[in-house]
Amino acid sequence: MLGKGIIQGMVETARNFAGSYVSGDRLVTVQYPEERLAQIEAARNFPFLVYDGEDWQQGLRCVACQICEKECPPKCIYIIKDVTKKPDHTGKLQFQPKVFDIDISVCMSCQICVEVCPFDAIKMDVEYELSTADRFGQLLLRKSDLARPNAYYHRIHPTEATAVDAHLATERAKAAAKSKPDSKPAA
Amino acid sequence: MNSPQTAAFVSGYEVRAKSGANGEFGGELLEIAMGPHHPSTHGVFRMDVVLDGERVVKLKPVFGYLHRNHEKIAEDATYLASIPYTDRLDYFCSLTNNWAYCLAVEKLAGLQVPERAEYIRVITAELTRLQNHACLGGFLLQDMGASGTPLMYAFREREKILDLFESLTGARMMCNYMRFGGCRCDLPDGWLEQTRQVLAGFPRFLDEFERLLNENEILMSRTQGVGVLSSDLAVNAGVTGPMLRASGVNYDLRKVDKYGIYDRFSFRIPLGDHGDVYDRYMMRILEMRESFNILSQALRDIPEGPIVDPKAKIRGFRPKAGEAYGRIEAPKGELGFYLISDGSPNPYRYRVRAPSFINLTILEDMCLGHHVADVVIILGSFDIVLGEVDR
């Protein structure tokens, strides 16, 4: 019968329309600013720098090795290494970045910097409401804007942060075990 | 065949208007530019169309508006740094783009992909195919005037698949997930279960989608017999993917090359009879059903184990000098990456064989003699993404 296909399609539309009142999987829209979906744990947006301890400047894990700056595909990271070593939160002397800028208007959230970082110092944030009226200044994040405590990292990516902490602890234990036999002959 | 005076078209249409002595159209033919800001040309694609009344007598595709220098940038970047750029080729299917590139580098560096990673690749690639084909159906019907409804239904399904991608890779579209010799991270807890749930609802969507418009009389009269692509022309022009199979040529790299672990799955290759727009549309629906079969098998068989080759290095990756071509059956056709290494950290030559670009080259042959309104749906049935055409 001519027109059967058209009626069949209309029935399908009607079923979806009526179904949206009773079934959750037909009504999928979320009224965004008032209503928000839960954050997916693996989500990534722009990078941030992790610090341990209380003071953000002292505790930065970043040692300004500049690998991320070299590997970054769109070259949005800018680092100047400090000339002198400074004590970190455990009191050990370390190089630190004097300047660490990320231009998030250029960053494409690819996570390459996180993967190449040997010190687990840079991680991906989940913050997404970042629009500003200022094209330049507000989108260039300085070291002070990027530094976030390890507790924040634990809050946004719990599974990953626990794994990173365990990995860092074994690395530290290995380093401690290595330095002991060396120190014995000296003593 | 291109010249207006001697046009003898497949559709049997003859040009009435004659052009002037110096090649001008003398006011009888009308040349119009469709695009780059035309809503029906996908992305920023322009066609210079010469019309005799409503009929197309000449068509010149113009592209390059979205050229981003992908190949040259990749020659200056390390091998790893090119992976996020491949996401941006065909931005609907970032995971298959990753796979094709990684396959080329793996051939170059002689890396072995562990079994679990191969399964993850198949699962993510077939999910990509599902959401790409669902959207193509939606967009094609939108081009024909079924405004909104089918596209929104397709996007509702796509959203569920994108949520899966986000919980696995961190991003919805720019996944940047595959690595040389495996994948970046293992599946999170409960991901397979979540995928099974999403897939369980997929056949219902396909049934609905088919009931919605497949037998619609208006749709059939708009698409059947329009934009016929003969199998000879398709093969000679290098057309690949669902477009080629809709013309009845049995060529699917998943069967021909058996890359990855595709030889372990049983699935069929749907083939078209007529090579018209309707066949190309149905081809996508049938392929989704086959992808669903592959996915069910892969989700059943996926083993435990490592997900990356221990020989693969993240920093300081330098494959030895040589050349390699990696190709896969991407949702749009054969996607290939050709790489030449000179032993340095970045490739010496990097070339992408983009399926949408090569498929687009026969647009004129398929449109000649048709109405200008048919040009829009013929282009829609190509399934092009301008990110890949222009690179």
Read off the pLDDT of residues B311-334 as tens digits, 9 standing for 90 and up.
877 777 888 888 999 899 999 989
Candidates B81, B87, B115; CA nearest to B100 is B87
To 10 degrees, the CA torsion angle through B195, B201, B205, B206?
70
Beta-sheet strands, E only, within A8-143:
47-51, 77-81, 86-87, 93-94, 97-103, 122-124, 140-141
When pLDDT is averaged across residues B186-196 and rounded to a whole number, the result is 89
Q: Predicted confidence band at B133 (pLDDT cuts at 50, 70, 90)?
A: very high
B157-192: string of b/e by CB count within 10 Å (b at 16+)?
Answer: bbebbbebbbbbbbbbebbbbbbbbbbbbbbeeebe
Residue A40 burial (C-beta neighbours within 10 Å; 0-12, 13-18, 19+)? middle
With CB atoms and an 8 Å threshold, state whether B217 touches A41: no
Comparing alpha-carbon positions, the chain B residue that sits nearest to A115 is B314
Please indicate if any CB of chain B lies within 8 Å of the CB of A38.
Answer: no
Query: Which residue has better confidence, B297 or B145?
Result: B297
Kindly report the average pLDDT of chain B as a whole number: 85
Residues 94-123 of A with CB under 8 A from B: 108-112, 115-116, 118
Alpha helix stretches (DSSP H) within chain B: 70-76, 83-87, 94-109, 115-143, 149-169, 191-200, 202-213, 217-223, 231-236, 242-246, 253-256, 277-301, 355-360, 363-367, 372-380, 386-390
Across the A:B interface, residue pairs with CB atoms under 8 Å apart total: 86
Q: Which among A120, A125, A130, A128 has a CA at the least distance from the CA of A155?
A: A125
Distance from CA of A42 to the nearest CA of B (A): 5
A28·B314 Cβ contact <8 A: no
Report the chain B residue with the minimal C-alpha distance to residue A108: B84
**How far off is chain A from B219, nearest CA to CA, in Å?**
9
- Token pair 């079924």 is found at B146
Query: Which two structure tokens, joined as six digits, stand for B367?
Result: 């449109």
A23 has a chain B CB within 8 A of its CB? no
Domains of chain A, first to last: 47-174 (3.30.70.3270)
Which residues in A lie closer than 8 A to residue B215 (C-beta atoms)? 4-5, 8
Q: How far apart are CA A13 and CA B216, in angstroms?
A: 13
- Nearest Cβ partner for B217 among A3, A25, A111: A3
Query: Whole-model pTM?
Result: 0.85
pLDDT band at B7 (very low <50, low <70, confident <90, very high): very low
Among A130-134, A180-184, B26-30, B53-57, the minimum mean pLDDT is found in A180-184
Tell whether the model's pLDDT for residue A138 goes beyond 70. yes
pLDDT at residue B39 greater than cutoff 50: yes
A73 touching B (Cβ < 8 Å): yes
With a cut of 70, say whether residue A140 has pLDDT above it. Answer: yes
What local confidence, expressed as pLDDT, does residue B320 receive? 86
Q: Cα(B296)–Cα(A29) distance, rounded to whole angstroms? A: 28
What number is the average pLDDT over the span A150-165? Answer: 86
User: Is the CB of residue B164 less than 8 Å from the CB of residue B198?
Assistant: yes
Q: How confident is the model at residue B122 (pLDDT cuts 50, 70, 90)?
A: very high
- The contact set of B with A (CB < 8 A) is 77-78, 80-85, 87, 149, 153, 156, 159, 163, 166-171, 174, 176, 184-185, 188, 201, 208, 211-220, 314-315
Above 50 in pLDDT, residue B31?
yes
Task: Work out the average pLDDT over B118-125.
Answer: 91
CA distance A121 to A97: 12
Phi, psi of B267 (to 5 degrees): -155, 160
